[in-house]
Amino acid sequence: MEKADRKTREQLETRILRISFVMSCVLSGAELVAAIILRSHTVLMDAIFDSADLIMMGPFLVLVPLLYQPVSERRPYGYSQVESLFLIIKYTVLLVLVVAMMGANIHIILTGGHEVSSGAIAVFELCLAAASVVMYFFLLHMSRKYESPTIHAEIYMWKTDIIGSCGVAAAFLAQFLFGDTVLRPLTPYIDSGVALIMSIFLIAEPVKEIIRGFRQMMLFSPPEEEMKRVHEVVNAALKDFPYETTFIDVIQTGRKTWIEVYLKRADDNAVIDTGHWKDLRGRVAEELGGDYDQLYVEFIPDIPDS
């Protein structure tokens, strides 16, 4: 049953990523063409950002089946760290591109800016925003059935596309309305200025995900709030049993999470009955199952050295 469920989730994730990949190809192609025709650095930054994501997603579709391979003695963490490494590479590439585009747009602003067709860019960005909204809600709906770190990353990408496209459209509509007003001298700086503002907002997520990926690669414990939640659930499960925790080890890598709970008798009795630990494990796994994708829970007797 578990094997069939794993296969179903693998097929669902692959289908979701393929749909996102195809739609991203269409929109990225449209952005590249529009950037060339409209000579807009804002549209070009969008196109480069989306194209980089596509380049990284293609190979990942091949890796998805590996992420569902069971753990073994040879690979105690399966292939989960492959996903962590892949996301580090992906977000590092995006971070480098964002920083490079920031530098390019700062240079353009300092050298006097350039004129673009504001009305055409606004219309194009509104069309992009409409298409991105459709994909965002589709992925959001599908993620209710199953969500992985990769699908989460895709939802983030489409969300940034919506916000970015709407912001760009609003900025260029404002430029279009400047006309011959006193704000007319600002128009050469609008394109690069908007691209620079987008870069500042886009830079936070890659930095956060790179740090998260390195923490998982190094097998560090998750953030404090997650550890607090695990402790609360474990202690609640133990309240009807004569045991107390001495140490809780939480390991996260990719989509897999291992929770190892070391126990001792609360009454200092040396005899430990493990007969009901299956029930304990089930309680904790059920309570935390909604928080993690692939969760493994183990209870371990804490045997003193002497």
pLDDT 10s digits, 149-160: 667 777 877 887
Mean pLDDT for the stretch of residues 269-286: 78
Q: What is the DSSP string of the chain?
A: -HHHHHHHHHHHHHHHHHHHHHHHHHHHHHHHHHHHHHT-HHHHHHHHHHHHHHHHHHHHHHHHHHHTSPP-SS-TTTTHHHHHHHHHHHHHHHHHHHHHHHHHHHHHHHTT-----HHHHHHHHHHHHHHHHHHHHHHHHHHTT---HHHHHHHHHHHHHHHHHHHHHHHHHHHHHHTTSTTGGGHHHHHHHHHHHHHHHHTHHHHHHHHHHHHHHTT----HHHHHHHHHHHHHHHTTTTEEEEEEEEEEETTEEEEEEEEEETT--S----TTHHHHHHHHHHHHTTT-SEEEEEEEE-----
Backbone angles phi, psi at 225, to 5 degrees: -65, -35
Count of Cβ atoms closer than 10 Å to residue 286 Cβ:
13
| One CATH from 3.30.70.1350, 2.40.160.40, 3.10.450.50, 2.30.42.10 for 224-301 | 3.30.70.1350
Find, among 255, 60, 257, the residue nearest to 152 by Cα: 255
* pLDDT recorded at residue 155: 82
* pLDDT recorded at residue 100: 83
Question: Which pTM was predicted?
Answer: 0.64
Query: Confidence band (pLDDT; 50, 70, 90) for 146?
Result: low
Q: Is the pLDDT of residue 92 over 80?
A: yes
Mean pLDDT for the stretch of residues 240-247: 84
Q: Of the ranges 3-12, 64-73, 128-137, 289-298, which is most confident?
A: 128-137
Lowest mean pLDDT among 34-48, 67-81, 156-170, 238-252: 67-81
Q: Is the pLDDT of residue 1 over 60?
A: no
Average pLDDT, the chain: 79
The per-residue b/e assignment along 206-235, b for 16 or more CB within 10 angstroms, e otherwise, is beebbebbebbeeeeebeeebeebbeebbe
Mean pLDDT for the stretch of residues 100-114: 81
The percentage of residues in the chain with a pLDDT greater than 70, rounded to a whole number, is 84
**pLDDT, tens digit, 9 for 90 and up, residues 19-73:** 888 888 888 888 888 888 888 877 877 787 777 777 767 666 777 677 667 767 7
The alpha carbon of 58 is separated from its chain's Cα centroid by a whole number of angstroms, namely 16
Q: Is the pLDDT of residue 269 over 70?
A: no
Q: Which fold has domain 2-217?
A: Alpha-lytic protease prodomain-like (1.20.1510)
Mean pLDDT for the stretch of residues 179-203: 74
Q: Is the pLDDT of residue 4 over 60?
A: no
* pLDDT recorded at residue 180: 64
Q: pLDDT higher for 276 or 211? A: 211
Q: Of the ranges 15-19, 90-94, 135-139, 192-196, which is most confident?
A: 135-139
Q: Which residues pair with 299 in a beta bridge?
A: 261
Q: Domain ranges in the chain?
A: 2-217, 224-301
* pLDDT recorded at residue 228: 92
